[in-house]
Amino acid sequence: MKIFVTGATGFVGAACADALARDGHVVVCGTRRRVVDGAPQRAWAVHGDLASDIDWRDHLTGCDGVLHCAGLASVADDVSNEDVDAINVEATARLAEAAADAGIKRFVYISSALAATADDGNRYATSKRAAEKQIGEIAGRRGMDWVILRPPMIYGAGNSGNFARLVHRIENGWPLPLACATAPKSFVAIDNLASAVARVFENPHARNRTFFVADDEQTSTAALVRDIAGTLGQPVRLLPVPASVMQRLGRVTGKAREIKSLFDPAVVDTADIRKVLSWSPPVAQGDAIRDAVLGMVHQNPQRRKIAFVVTEDWFMCSHFLPLIREARVLDLDVIVITRVRQHAAVLQAEGVRVIAINARRSSANPLALVFGVGQLRAILRRENPDIVHAIALRMVIAGGLAARFAGVRNVVLAPTGLGHLWSSRGWPQRIARAMIRFVTRHVLRRPGTVFVFENRDDPADLGLDAAGHDIVVVAGAGVDSEIFQPSLAPPAPPLKIAVVSRMTRAKGVLDSVAAVRAARAGGADVELHLFGAVDTDNLGALSESELRALSAEGGITWHGVSNDVPSVWRAHHTAMLLTSYREGIPRTLIEAAACGRPSIATDVIGCREIVRDGVDGFLVPPGDVLAAADAIIALAGDARRREAFGQAARAHFLDVFTEAAIRQRFADVYRRMLNREPGSGE
């Protein structure tokens, strides 16, 4: 059979693709983004974000089967129900319809054992159950075979979820209050799940069936901890805290469901798949646990390693994937240490190992910073990377201190921008700025450390000399000139303005709204389209209700997050960013310039690096809504000026801001560090 596999570079998808190929199937590997280097014996298909309107026809042509592995592997509290359904339910339904259109013989879906208990309010489980229902209804209506596999928790060396976190905590000697977690549980090794996937494609009796799949053996949370500790050669540090006490703690901390899952029994019945398909797990659980643990702690020990330390997984994905790709070109193992929300699978698709940490950007608690430094130090001591690259000011401080305390020789500190702290005038902020300058100049600045800034103003504000040998200035993180390309502007009027950013006050969303209102009042035929997420970790975030109220006005529309930013610029004439805080260089303005669109932006550090007033857009004073309205009116009435500005913006982008140019700058930094002799002062 020729089988199309979604999520084929993820933990589950990659293992299943390998198993299918070993069984003689032709595998087409579907990925969200381009892979740096895929297995040459496979066909590769880039299908884009599941939440977007993907045209599956070319990908599925000539295929006999579909294995759908892609989707949200877990659901964080700050992910909306709409986002969960868009990826796990609606995208699955669209793929099933397309598969039926393409004449696919068998559609196999990796669901979850939790789907059987979807009524308990678990949003992830509910979305999986809803997706199963959609597949059954579509396949039944269209005459397509379907198979659903429901695994419990999946473990293996490439896992970055709960199993990996448990391994890392045991390795670091954490005492765990889990001695009373003795209820029996089912787990499944990734190799056993992949074996079951291969079997359901081969066996005609799997048609239109749902199967639970798990290891032969059952275990418990406490027993699993003992097995992992034994493999690591670590003492077992289990505290006998009663389940009732832990569950009360869960209610207080908002983690009741997670803690309950550690103590409650969770056994699945695999009798059906054994009887109907004559399948049994090929790998014993004890062997699989040992191999998974050893694989995690000894991955590629001979290769050199870079650790990116960043506040949020989405920020790494939206801005810094080019750096990951360049590190892999340099044959570095790559780990990303970050708060995991819903983008871990994207990072894993780039060949990255993700290590989750507890961190919130909005926290101003000094104790949280101390805890974060300790958490990062423990990870860096365990991983022993050759280079640490800390991104954004909070992680520059926490990650820089952790790297120093962990003895890392080579450190890249990239503030990207100075943010709210340098835009606020209160005495607490002044004290914080003075402390950061002291730490930067006297603690973090040492041989082997390079500071990377996006503009030439920021170094002085951190007490550094922009001309110093350890200071590098790069123009952002780079934008792919092949993906972001110029296009003909849409018909006008109306003039369509897009704001693509987080929906916060500091990003000037309300000023943009006010400017468009004033321009419309002045007679301009103009529309404002807002593209971006509600940033729940930002104290200045606009709420969903506020954005929906704005969207109810004439000429203003909030679209939520766009997973296809180039299409946004194809549909709009002008970018706008009336930011009021210290940007590095706003990526949204670079992307607009790459697409040949002019911009209206505030005349502040960061924006003025990309927008040249009167050349490829307009710069207006911060907070000056009327000046922004005048700029809107000027562009609305002059199509030739818009075109000239757009051409100038594209040329400026090609000169300075391309992904290739930025990757080369960072490659030079990494090579210099890797070639530095031990003990040298370079």
**Do 354 and 469 belong to one domain?**
yes
**8 Å CB contact between 170 and 225:** yes
Q: What is the CATH number of the domain that holds 347?
A: 3.40.50.2000
Asked whether residue 257 is domain-assigned, the answer is no
The single-letter code of the amino acid at 672 is: R
Tell me what pLDDT residue 307 has: 94
Let me know if residue 139 belongs to a domain: yes
Do residues 225 and 208 make contact, with C-beta atoms less than 8 angstroms apart? no
Domain count for the chain, please give it: 3
C-beta atoms surrounding 78 within 10 Å: 13
Average pLDDT, stretch 613-624? 94
Note the pLDDT tens digit of each residue in 469-527.
788 888 777 788 888 999 999 999 999 999 999 888 889 999 999 999 999 999 999 99
Taking the C-alpha atoms of residue 242 and residue 263, their distance in angstroms, rounded to an integer, is 10
Same-domain pairing of 529 and 634? yes
451 and 519 part of one domain? no
One domain for residues 51 and 112:
yes
Q: Please tell me whether residues 408 and 531 are part of one structural domain.
A: no
pLDDT of 302 reads 57
Q: Which residue, among 7, 107, 13, 18, has the nearest Cα to 63 in the 3D structure?
A: 107
Same domain, 148 and 213: yes
Domain contains 258: no
Regarding whether 523 and 432 lie in a shared domain, the answer is no
Q: What is the DSSP string of 332-366?
A: -EEEEEEE-SS-HHHHHHTT-EEEE----TT---H
Q: What is the CATH number of the domain that holds 212?
A: 3.40.50.720
Query: 328 with 446, same domain?
Result: yes
Name residue 524's amino acid: A
DSSP-H helix ranges across 181-284: 190-202, 221-232, 243-253, 256-263, 271-277
- pLDDT tier at 313, thresholds 50, 70, 90: confident
Q: Name which of 36-45, 169-178, 329-338, 531-540 the model is least confident about.
A: 36-45
Q: According to the model, what pLDDT value does residue 605 have? A: 84
Q: Are residues 26 and 121 in the same domain?
A: yes
When pLDDT is averaged across residues 224-241 and rounded to a whole number, the result is 90
Cβ atoms of 155 and 292 closer than 8 Å: yes
Structure tokens at 583: 């940007």
pLDDT of 276 over the 50 cut: yes
Examine the pLDDT at 40 and tell me if it is beyond 60.
no
Q: Are 45 and 33 in contact (CB under 8 A)?
A: no
pLDDT at residue 36, rounded to an integer: 47
Task: Reply yes or no on whether the pLDDT at 120 is more than 70.
Answer: no
- Residues 187/152, Cβ–Cβ less than 8 Å: yes
Specify the higher pLDDT residue, 137 or 53: 137
Residues 627 and 534 in one domain: yes
Of 157-161, 343-347, 411-415, 598-602, minimum mean pLDDT range: 157-161
User: Minimum mean pLDDT among 100-109, 166-175, 238-247, 282-291: which range?
Assistant: 166-175
Residue 322 is assigned to a structural domain of this protein: yes
Domain that holds residue 280: 2-159+176-222+264-291
Q: What is the arrangement of strands in the sheet containing 471-473, beginning at the earlier edge strand?
A: 353-356, 333-339, 305-312, 387-391, 410-414, 449-453, 471-473
The answer to whether residue 256 sits within a structural domain is no
Question: 136 falls in which pLDDT band (50, 70, 90)?
Answer: very high
Any domain includes 611: yes
Amino acid occupying residue 495? L
In a domain, 664, yes or no: no
Q: What's this model's pTM, rounded to 2 decimal places?
A: 0.60
Is 228 among the domain residues? Answer: no
Q: What is the pLDDT of residues 424-456, one digit of tens each?
A: 666 776 777 788 788 888 778 888 889 988 777
Q: pLDDT: is 624 or 233 the higher one?
A: 624
Residue 643 has pLDDT above 90, yes or no: yes
Q: Domain check: are 613 and 532 in the same one? A: yes
Which one of 453, 478, 503 terminates a domain? Answer: 478
Question: Residue 213 in 3-state DSSP?
Answer: coil
CB 650 within 8 A of CB 594: yes
Averaged pLDDT score across all residues of the chain: 85
Q: Residue 617 pLDDT more than 70?
A: yes
Whether 165 contacts 258, CB under 8 Å: no
pLDDT at 680: 47
Q: Which pLDDT does position 564 carry in this prediction?
A: 85
Instruction: Tell the residue number behind the tokens 């003039």, with chain if given.
Output: 495
Identify which of 363, 348, 425, 441 has the alpha carbon closest to the alpha carbon of residue 395: 363
Q: Is 327 in the same domain as 277?
A: no
